[in-house]
Structure 1
Amino acid sequence: MTPLGPRDTSQGRHESPEERADRRWNELLQEVRVIQTGVQILFGFLLTVAFTPRFPTLSQTDQTIYVVTVLLGAATTGALIGTVTFHRLVTGHRLKPETVVWAGRLAMVGIVLLLATVASALLLILRIAMDDTAVPWIVTGLVAWFMLCWFALPAWVLHRYSDRE
């Protein structure tokens, strides 16, 4: 058994633990590239808000939501970039399977932080753009949608189809 699980060739892949780690690392890297682009764009826009003429006119609550959103965006960026620096720091030490596991966990933390960042950004934008009473319901609905798409559906598919032999 390896940190990536037992070697099971009955599923159609005939790869060593090292080959599996290489494949999984490449898959993780592609996933992080996709998500990191969106995070960088969102974070870049967030950083500019404080320098707009309207920012000082925001309520203290909205300014606090903004600060929390920026901090969440920075934490998200840190976690996602951390997957690459993790690999860079342990590369050459024959720890690829362990690196893939831990970098994957770090990427998942980044995804959870992204959910919080997007929710916080939506809360701020919608509080400014529309009636406050509807905003919490809209943000809650969108967070539920993200959780369905990002977590519940993959979990259901994993549960539904992983029991097949």
Structure 2
Amino acid sequence: MNPEKSIEAPRAGDGRHETRDEQLDRNWSELLQELRVMQTGVQIIAGFLLTLPFQQRFTTLDTPQRGVFLFLVVVSAVATALMLAPVSLHRRLFRHHVRETLVASGDRIVKIVLGCVALLIAGTGWLVFSVVVGPTAGNAAGAALLAVIILLLLVFPLVVGRRHRGRDL
């Protein structure tokens, strides 16, 4: 798939009187702002996870809890690296006049990071409930959180997008 073809062209009458370059600059700035917002949440969760092994109760974690903990540490590291990828890409392609490629690539990366954040939130909820209340509560809390996150991050935007298809957002 050609990244340049994946960017939606400006709609006629969208209320913005901007050139294609201005639109791409705005889109790039919006992507970076979204990454900044997600970065704070990922840093907080990663910080929480990294302090756990130094707590006395950490030694009481069973094998599945330790496995999920380590999985979440890896996901938080991957999410952090992914959030840095657009910056690295920008540095590499700076002044190469490929803003459209940067925006398309950044869009894909942000979507992957959202998936990582969803896993982090649901997994951390599972871990906390599993340790504090027990494995059954952990399973219920993790599943409930994952369901809510899927509704908020995937289903809701799809529904809103369909509802406003053909109209200005």
Instruction: Give the TM-score normalised by structure 2.
Output: 0.89
Give 2:94's aligned amino acid.
T
1:3, CA displacement in angstroms?
A: 4.9
Tell me which residue corresponds to 2:30: 27
1:54, CA displacement in angstroms?
A: 2.3
Tell me which residue corresponds to 1:40: 43
Give 1:120's aligned amino acid.
G
SS in 2 for 1:10: coil
Tell me which residue corresponds to 2:9: 6
Task: Decide which of 132, 140, 143 is 1:140's aligned counterpart.
Answer: 143
- Can you give the 5+ residue segments of structure 2 that lack an aligned partner in the other structure? none
Asked if the contact 1:119/1:143 (under 8 Å) is kept, the reply is yes
User: How is 1:1-165 mapped onto 2 (pairs within 5 angstroms)?
Assistant: 3-164=6-167
For residues 132 and 58 of structure 1, the distance between their equivalents in structure 2, rounded to whole angstroms, comes to: 11
Deviation sequence 1:99-131 (CA, Å, 0-9, x none): 011011111101101111121111111100113
Q: Structure 1 stretches (4+) deviating beyond 6 angstroms? A: none
- Can you give the 5+ residue segments of structure 1 that lack an aligned partner in the other structure? none
Relative distance call for 1:111 and 1:72 in structure 2 (3 A) is same
* Cα RMSD (Å): 1.8
Instruction: Give the TM-score normalised by structure 1.
Output: 0.91
Give 1:127's aligned amino acid.
S
For residues 3 and 92 of structure 1, the distance between their equivalents in structure 2, rounded to whole angstroms, comes to: 21
Relative distance call for 1:145 and 1:3 in structure 2 (3 A) is closer
For residues 131 and 58 of structure 1, the distance between their equivalents in structure 2, rounded to whole angstroms, comes to: 11
**Identical residues among aligned pairs (%):** 31
